[in-house]
């Protein structure tokens, strides 16, 4: 396939996340082209905007997508609906050999954080983008664990209440469970915990994430700090608003005053505290909605690499 050919993609879900992703594909993508926008509400702004931009649309869900004349050209589909709906969407798309990128917490396919493990799953027919909190914080847990063993990692994601739509609110339990599992599986921690806070402050605040890691005693603070700084720069390469809010903080937890970690037991060592801020790009959503922006940015980054890997496009 020549360099000037782009891979047609479909977006299922014409809400905030799907619409923002559509604009990112059309403005920023090097290898992708919008093939279809799919929704279930004919009056949704996402479908109306897609029509104005000349993108094929359907308000009949995944069944309507399959009926579109250009469906045969669709190679990648993003699912930005809900965990409950994703299972059927995936089943339909897999029958037609369409690569699926799941932005819901369904986790049918492997968890993927572009800077952590995308290369391991380039051949997977379905990849899961974890959660917004996972995309923001798991790279930091991984940055610590690649230097020193992490007994426990806890993340607190604080997002503006106005940036949490019906889909986010309906999937709060899935958010915490999926993120906690991914902290262990991808981040490398022995035990993980995730907390999400919907902040009602006015004016709305930019997404903030706090990451706490308890690493083994004697871990190299300088090496951990460098690993974190390097990882933050890598994430910022596809999420420009991603940044460390302040320098990494270290605290020694003494053996005679250990932390009691449920499921792990009493542990001492080096506590690492990381404070992040994620500002959205403002493509479709407000700048404070970094929680949505990081999901669409990560999904786009994954799709770009999949396009290169699957369709022999120049990187």
Mean of pLDDT over the chain: 95
Give the pLDDT confidence score for residue 1 in this predicted structure. Answer: 43
pLDDT at 308 over 50: yes
* 110 vs 273: CA distance, rounded Å: 28
pLDDT at 108 over 50: yes
Domains of the chain in start order, with CATH, are 7-129+294-311 (3.40.50.720), 132-287 (3.30.360.10)
Phi, psi of 283 (to 5 degrees): -65, -50
213 flagged as catalytic: no
Provide mean pLDDT across the span 198-204: 96
Query: What percent of the chain shows pLDDT beyond 70?
Result: 97
The single residue of 38, 132, 186, 289 carrying the catalytic annotation is 132
pLDDT in tens, 227-268: 999 999 999 999 999 999 999 999 999 999 999 988 889 999
pLDDT in tens, 260-306: 988 889 999 999 999 999 999 999 999 999 999 999 999 999 999 99
CA distances, 49 to each of 14, 19, 23, 178, 224 (Å): 10, 8, 10, 32, 45
Provide mean pLDDT across the span 156-184: 90
Give the pLDDT confidence score for residue 310 in this predicted structure. Answer: 83
Provide mean pLDDT across the span 62-72: 98
Count of other CB atoms within 10 angstroms of residue 73: 14
Predicted model pTM: 0.94
């Amino acid at each position: 396939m020549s360099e000037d050919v782009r891979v047609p993609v479909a977006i299922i879900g014409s809400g905030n996340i799907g619409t923002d992703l559509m604009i990112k594909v059309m403005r920023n993508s090097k290898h992708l082209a919008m093939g279809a926008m799919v929704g279930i509400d004919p009056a949704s702004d996402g479908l109306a905007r897609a029509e104005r931009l000349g993108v094929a649309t359907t308000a009949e869900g995944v069944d309507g997508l399959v009926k579109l004349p250009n469906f045969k050209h669709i190679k990648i589909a993003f699912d930005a609906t809900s965990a409950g709906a994703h299972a059927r969407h995936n089943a339909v798309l897999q029958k037609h050999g369409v690569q699926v990128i799941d932005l819901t917490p369904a986790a049918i396919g492997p968890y993927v954080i572009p800077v952590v493990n995308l290369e391991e799953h380039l051949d997977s027919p379905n990849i899961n983008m974890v959660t917004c909190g996972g995309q923001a914080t798991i790279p930091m847990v991984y940055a610590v664990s690649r230097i020193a063993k992490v007994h426990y990692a806890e993340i607190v994601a604080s997002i503006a209440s106005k940036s949490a739509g019906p889909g986010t609110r309906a999937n709060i339990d899935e958010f915490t469970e999926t993120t906690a599992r991914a902290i262990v599986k991808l981040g490398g921690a022995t035990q993980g915990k995730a907390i999400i806070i919907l902040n009602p402050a006015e004016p709305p605040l930019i997404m903030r994430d706090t990451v706490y890691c308890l690493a083994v005693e004697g871990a190299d603070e300088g090496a951990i700090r460098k690993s974190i700084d390097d990882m933050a720069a890598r994430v910022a390469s596809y999420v420009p608003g991603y940044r460390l809010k302040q320098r990494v903080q270290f605290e020694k937890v003494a053996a005679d005053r250990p932390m009691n970690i449920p499921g792990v037991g009493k542990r001492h060592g080096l506590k690492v505290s990381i404070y992040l801020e994620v500002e959205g790009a403002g493509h479709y959503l407000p700048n404070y909605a970094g929680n949505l922006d990081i999901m669409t940015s990560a999904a786009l980054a994954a799709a770009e690499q999949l396009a290169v890997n699957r369709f022999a496009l120049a990187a």
